[in-house]
Amino acid sequence: MSSPLSESQKDQILRDFIELAQKDSELKEEIKSARNQDELISIAEQKGYFFDSLTLLRKWSEHTDFSQPTWMGWFAD
């Protein structure tokens, strides 16, 4: 039985997922089309990246534009 991941571990997993998405245009478009955080988390899990909605919220708090979902702030275009 594995122990639960710490917040910092989940934050790193999310950072790794974002880095992958920034390099993979197909994944990037899939993320941009996600309608909600559950769809985004599902996309990440399919790629082997496991984090939760609280991890997304922590990442979202780093952005100043709260008019769009957090994952829109991951990409410059």
**According to the model, what pLDDT value does residue 71 have?**
72
pTM: 0.80
Contacts made by residues 14-20, CB under 8 angstroms, sequence distance 24+: 14/44, 14/49, 14/51, 14/55, 14/56, 14/59, 16/49, 17/44, 17/47, 17/49, 17/51, 18/59, 18/74, 20/47, 20/49
Q: Where are the domains of the chain?
A: 7-74
Give me the amino acid identity at 12. Answer: Q
**According to the model, what pLDDT value does residue 20 have?**
96
Phi-psi region of 50 (alpha: psi -120 to 50; beta: other; left: phi over 0): beta
**According to the model, what pLDDT value does residue 77 have?**
53
47-59 pLDDT per residue, tens: 999 999 999 888 8
Residues of the chain with pLDDT under 70: 1-2, 61-66, 68-70, 72-73, 75-77
Q: Percent of the chain beyond pLDDT 90?
A: 60
